[in-house]
DNA sequence: GTTCGCTGCCACATATTGCAACATCAGTGC
DNA sequence: GCACTGATGTTGCAATATGTGGCAGCGAAC
């Protein structure tokens, strides 16, 4: 029977959505049965709610309920192992572009961490980064000033991100920036996993005197969903192996110089 | 009819995964039998969960259970410190003051790092810290949001400090703050080494609902040059041993409660 | 009255789980 | 080193919970 007659007014859809999102924030996950009981509606209704919120990208649906959305990228500890040699070569090549006294921005990521290890010979650098590990490493190197950008910490990157980070970034005058990326697409463009990441990197291209992307060979020809704004204004792309000729050609059309690290 | 289920609510898969990872973070390893008992599911289910998480590279499977890869061992990093036992006791006492859902500020320092290790059992905390190591540790605990405060990194503290940090701090509504200090002076006051540190801590006393200082016994009776503004408005001082009676008396005159951790 | 959106019910598809039988592993005593 | 033993890991299968799509009832808006 329909639960109309003497029951208190049934919760409106937006009210359910608010409550669902509130619970998600509080508990990390919600179950369909639990919510159906709470709102006194059928499971189908809850599922439709979840489907809707999922389409908006506000949560991820799992069997039996929903969970906070987390873009799944392999854990940091795993990625740092992959292609360590290539990353080190990129690190050395990148370090060669840096001069004493510069203000250097280092993005989060395992390749940029390799750069952090490669620039310890330089003097009087000001480092600007959102990566916890990079900050932790470089702050112990004499003659370096490290500025940590604040923000909400993304566990998969071990770095701050979000509005506060963008905000903090804008305060610096950066001589040279090294940026990571999710992939080097076949048409010669660097793309990213998340909207926020793409935005942050695109912003930095504009802020830095010179901006280089660093991508190891495992990122070649992959596809991730988001284009990086301003990409054509980057100074270069540093890689650790020759990409496909078509990719090289496409990249040279766009503008950024291709640097292959030995 | 109300579509409420009368079945025993079974834990959602993501909830199990969160709990498993949380325990891994806290204890370093988990056993299949233990988890099966806790969730009231069969061992096979737990094994399937572990297999899944292992495929994602978030843990390693061993005979009888699972262990984590990264040796960010709480035990190791803390044991290497002086008076590790005392700090751990303070950590537990501090964790006892925190409730699920709170916004917690953790100052930099080894004693507050011990608190970070002790609060991994709690749920849905928002952590606000300037310490790189605290952020790095807690960002991997499921159900915690970590906000890193930006600023220039002080190598001796491995934490951000300075004007940007003060600025970022002021944006948060903090329920409970745990602050370090340079010394517990004989007249029952917490003092600090630097002007900036004293200022930052004094500011946080005003911002937080409750502010506790944490000081292990090695800080008793020492003298450092700077008084902490607002000290008398702090909620308490947590220590790991009974101080001199005179010091206890002086402290009780000022206001903050003295908590001696066992 | 009609249309439209939301909801609940139903039948059927799919996913997850527990059980049971069997294979392996880590100790233990000899 | 070897056999024994209890605990742990694996696999196939059946039971059950959950997901999906169609359809109809009910109000609200027009």
DSSP string, A73-133: ---HHHHTTTTHHHHHHHHHHHHTT--TT-EEEE-SSHHHHHHHHHTTTS-SEEEEESBHH
Q: How many CB pairs under 8 A join A and B?
A: 131
pLDDT beyond 80 at B83:
yes
What integer pLDDT is reported at residue A5 of this predicted model? Answer: 33
Q: Please state, for a pLDDT cut of 90, what percent of chain A lies above it.
A: 73
Q: For residue B2, with 0-12 CB atoms within 10 Å meaning exposed, 13-18 middle and 19 or more buried, which class applies? A: exposed
Which residues of B fall within a CB distance of 8 Å from A34? 9
What integer pLDDT is reported at residue B80 of this predicted model? Answer: 62
pLDDT beyond 50 at B96:
yes
A5 touches strand D (CB under 7 A): no
Find the Cα–Cα–Cα–Cα dihedral A136, A137, A142, A146, rounded to 10°: -50
Q: Please state, for a pLDDT cut of 90, what percent of chain B lies above it.
A: 74
What integer pLDDT is reported at residue B4 of this predicted model? Answer: 34
CA distance A164 to A152: 8
Determine contact, residues A24/A66, Cβ cutoff 8 Å: yes
Average pLDDT over residues B118-138: 93
Q: How many residues does chain B have?
A: 262
Give the confidence band of B223 by pLDDT, cuts at 50, 70, 90: confident
More confident: A9 or A171: A171
Lowest mean pLDDT segment, chosen from A39-53, A142-156, B61-75: B61-75
pLDDT beyond 70 at B1:
no
> From chain B, which residues contact A within 8 Å (Cβ)?
1-5, 7, 9-10, 12-15, 18, 56-58, 69-70, 101, 123-124, 132-133, 135-136, 139-140, 142-143, 145-155, 158, 160, 164-165, 168
pLDDT beyond 70 at B77:
no
CA distance B18 to A257: 44
What integer pLDDT is reported at residue A10 of this predicted model? Answer: 57
Tell me, yes or no, if the two domains B13-67 and B74-260 fold the same way: no
pLDDT beyond 80 at A71:
no
Parallel, antiparallel or unpaired: strands B60-62 and B65-67? antiparallel
B41 touches strand C (CB under 7 A): yes
Nearest to A27 among B70, B124, B150 (CB): B124
Element (DSSP H or E) covering residue B228: none
Average pLDDT over residues A11-23: 87
Q: pLDDT averaged over chain B?
A: 89
Q: pLDDT averaged over chain A?
A: 89
What integer pLDDT is reported at residue B70 of this predicted model? Answer: 60
Give the CATH number of domain A13-67.
Answer: 1.10.10.10
A13 touches strand C (CB under 7 A): yes
Of A159, A174, A166, A200, which Cα lies nearest the Cα of A104? A174
Average pLDDT over residues A46-63: 92
Give the CATH number of domain A76-260.
Answer: 3.40.50.1360
Lowest mean pLDDT segment, chosen from A208-222, B5-19, B36-50: B5-19
- What residue spans define the domains of chain B? 13-67, 74-260
A41 touches strand D (CB under 7 A): no
Q: How far is A164 from chain B (nearest CA, A)?
A: 9
CB hemisphere CA count around B154 (13 angstroms): 17
pTM score of the predicted model: 0.82
Of A158, A14, A161, A142, which Cα lies nearest the Cα of A74? A158
Q: Which two tokens stand for residue B99?
A: 């409730």
A184, β-bridge pairs? A190, A220
Which residues of A fall within a CB distance of 8 Å from B155? 139-140
Find the Cα–Cα–Cα–Cα dihedral A126, A130, A134, A139, rounded to 10°: 50
Question: What is the third-level CATH fold of B74-260?
Answer: Rossmann fold (3.40.50)
Lowest mean pLDDT segment, chosen from A76-90, A121-135, B145-159: A76-90
Neighbouring CB atoms inside 10 A of A221's CB total: 14
CA distance B140 to B146: 9
What integer pLDDT is reported at residue B7 of this predicted model? Answer: 40
């Amino acid at each position: 029977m329909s639960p109309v007659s003497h029951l208190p007014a049934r919760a409106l859809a937006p009210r359910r959505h608010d409550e669902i999102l509130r619970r998600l924030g509080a508990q990390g996950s919600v179950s369909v049965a639990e919510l159906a009981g709470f709102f006194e509606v059928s499971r189908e209704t809850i599922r439709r709610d979840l489907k809707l919120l999922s389409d908006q990208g506000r949560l991820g649906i799992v069997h039996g309920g929903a969970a906070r959305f987390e873009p799944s990228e392999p854990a940091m500890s795993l990625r740092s192992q992959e292609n360590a040699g290539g990353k080190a070569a990129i690190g050395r090549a990148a370090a060669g572009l840096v001069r004493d006294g510069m203000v250097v921005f280092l993005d989060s990521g395992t390749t940029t961490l390799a750069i952090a290890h490669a620039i310890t010979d330089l003097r009087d650098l000001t480092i600007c980064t959102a990566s916890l590990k990079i900050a932790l490493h470089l702050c112990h190197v004499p003659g370096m000033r490290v500025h940590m950008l604040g923000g909400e910490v993304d566990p998969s990157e071990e770095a701050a991100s979000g509005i506060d980070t963008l905000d903090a970034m804008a305060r610096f005058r950066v001589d040279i920036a090294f940026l990571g990326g999710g992939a080097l697409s076949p048409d010669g463009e660097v793309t990213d996993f998340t909207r926020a990441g793409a935005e942050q990197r695109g912003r930095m291209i504009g802020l830095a005197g010179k901006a280089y992307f660093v991508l190891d060979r495992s990122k070649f020809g992959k596809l991730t969903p988001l284009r990086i704004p301003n990409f054509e204004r980057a100074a270069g792309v540093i890689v650790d192996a020759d990409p496909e000729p078509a990719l090289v050609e496409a990249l040279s059309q766009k503008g950024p110089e291709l640097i292959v690290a030995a």
